[in-house]
């Protein structure tokens, strides 16, 4: 499974990498610091199974990234989990309208995060099995 982690805070990025890698799955985690960098990464990879996304980032924020992501047929349906400090209803509604799979507000309870990510991996695995 391949995860793209988009988080501008380096300390939070390292924590999320550590927690995500402990999920007992064969994971390959790639990190980006903002939406622009993430789009550049997506241009160079064949597969991403999950995107973990912060909303509040410099250069290109999470909602702008989601708008661009969903324009690309290759990435249109990849599950996206948002992790952010924003609990504003407008941000939550906008993110869900752009097709996210889950929304968690920081500070995180890592149990909630790992449960949601595990559910996304199970969903993705089942979709792949169904397609084959």
Residue 132: the pLDDT is 55
Domain residue ranges of the chain, discontinuous segments joined by +: 2-131
pLDDT of residue 39: 98
Mark the ranges of the chain whose per-residue pLDDT is less than 50: none
CB proximity list for 48: less than 8 A, separation 6 or greater: 2, 3, 4, 30, 42, 75, 78
pLDDT for 73: 94
CATH (residue range 2-131): 3.40.50.2300
């Amino acid at each position: 499974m391949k995860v793209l982690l988009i988080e501008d805070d380096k300390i939070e990025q390292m924590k999320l990498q550590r927690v995500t890698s402990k999920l007992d799955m064969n994971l390959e985690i790639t990190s980006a610091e903002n939406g622009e960098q993430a789009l550049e990464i997506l241009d160079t990879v064949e597969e991403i199974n999950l995107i973990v996304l912060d909303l509040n980032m410099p250069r290109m924020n999470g909602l702008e990234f989601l708008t661009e992501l969903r324009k690309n047929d290759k990435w249109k349906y990849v599950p996206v989990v948002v992790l952010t400090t924003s609990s504003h209803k407008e941000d939550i509604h906008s993110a869900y309208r752009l097709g996210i799979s889950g929304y968690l507000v920081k500070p995180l309870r890592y149990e909630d995060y790992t449960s949601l990510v595990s559910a996304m991996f199970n969903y993705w695995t089942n979709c792949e099995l169904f397609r084959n």
